[in-house]
Structure 1
């Protein structure tokens, strides 16, 4: 096999997520997002919406090279028997020849397969040209170290983890920084909880913007990629406007201080969180 190239992840820092969106709702959300100016779309095998996302991508008419598409391999496919074919099936649904970023969705293989096994398969699909970059999701500090020990420095491009003002996930972010792994923060609004926080609302009022813009700008100021989702065009447009907002040091410190460990995504197969 050819040597796995260590390439810099050139990922749009603001994307659109599709978690919990199905069928027409997923299609319409992605279609609107692409229309208002998003180029980065995040999906996953377990979301059950890759086909709807694929139709929206195709119908957009946008050039493939201008899009950045991420999907994630589910727990039942984290083995030598199923991994590659599951990725091919994702590509068929997405109507793509490759994705830009392929992630291990959870470090929780259904049948207890080793990390060595499923990361070897992840590396293999990159060598096959089915993805440009590879990464992980929901990996802890210890698991990041283990993954880097297996694949080597500079190979894992991304760790997608829950990050929002109520869960800043600082230890994991620092571990990723140490290994030059870009962090994508999912659930930036903590399922809407932080959008009514009095500190964030006050900062939004100060800048004459929405609470959503403040939260996204906070994530971006910390060099995170983030992937909020919405089914409303107005909200998608508002989210995109966050790219124009610069928060000052006092704003950032106030939002940093809201961290209270309020984790939203914690299924029974989760790792032992840091």
Structure 2
């Protein structure tokens, strides 16, 4: 199965379906990422905060998959913002991953009280220019943060990775991203810590109509909205199910019914206050 790719504003592309490793036990990461690669995932999303970059790196090294067939994302944590700290943190991430470059490097949060993300972004531009980060982007950035980057730096982020699922569809931020040539990527795409997204509303009925599971319906919903999506599972069978989402298509009515589950309620941290 070839996963479709979406084009960045910098001319590079990202596989639209990937595999996330948030809250994956570092001791289990190599096994879990190896399973994901064997299932067929080629886009792996990690972060310094997760503490499992080494396990991701070991799985990559032992996979036998050519580097140019993989897409690897990692992220800079808030306490490492600022030019010098960012350079040190990025070098550490590359070392842990065992790579000489990543395909995408993200500022994990704007951390507005620190007021360092513009300086940090200029440092990200250095990595991009040096080829050690093929593309650069942000995560959890608000329109006002993106406006500052546009006003004070030379590069529009390739992507903005945000909490996004049927209970929190973030339409306004998605529209902002699209209007400014920024892809949107969904973290927590199956609901993160939200109670029973997969058992909610019409999902079971829609899943039954297509002969798939509710998680497959939700992943398909992300894909049809033109989002990059990174589901996570520690179970190989569920990984395979989450990857098997290209053999059916949701109708416009089904998409609208899922959109209608939106409560506007955030389940993860709030970028206004996480610093």
TM range (shorter): over 0.9
Quote the offset at 1:272 in angstroms: 6.5
The within-5 A match list for 1:76-115 is 76-108=79-111, 112-115=114-117
Partner of 1:138: 140
TM-score (norm 2): 0.92
Q: Helix, strand or coil for the counterpart of 2:169?
A: coil
State the distance in 2 between where 1:28 and 1:257 align: 38
Whether contact under 8 Å (1:200, 1:211) holds in the other structure is: yes
Unpaired runs of 5+ residues, structure 2, are 1-8
2:55 aligned with 1:43: no
Does the 8 Å contact 2:201/2:261 carry over to 1?
Answer: no
Match of residue 171 from structure 2: 170
* 2-structure distance, mates of 1:170, 1:113: 26
- Count of paired positions: 264
Could you tell me which residue of structure 2 aligns to residue 128 of structure 1?
Answer: 130
Extract unaligned runs of 5+ from structure 1: 1-5
Instruction: Confirm or deny: 8 A CA contact 1:22 1:52 kept in the other structure.
Output: no
Say if 1:272 and 1:243 are closer, same or farther in 2 by CA, change over 3 A. farther
Q: How far apart, CA to CA, are the structure 2 residues paired with 1:132 and 1:213?
A: 30
Q: Over residues 222-272 of structure 1, what are the superposed CA-to-partner deviations in whole Å (9 max), with x where a residue is unaligned?
A: 0000000001110010001113221000100000111002312115xx326
2:204 to 175, 179, 201: 201
Q: 1:31-61: per-residue Cα shift (whole Å, max 9, x none)?
A: 1010010000000000000001100111111
Q: 2:4 maps to what in 1?
A: none
Check if 1:244 corresponds to 2:247. yes
Cα deviation code 1:177-231 (max 9, x no counterpart): 0111011001011136211113111100111100011000000000000000001
Using the size of structure 1 for normalisation, the TM-score is: 0.92
Residue 11 in structure 1 maps to residue 28 in structure 2 = no
**Aligned equivalents of 2:132 and 2:196: distance in 1?**
37
Q: Do the aligned residues in 1 keep the contact of 2:111 with 2:117 (CA within 8 Å)?
A: no
Question: What stretches of structure 1 move > 6 A for 4+ residues in a row?
Answer: none
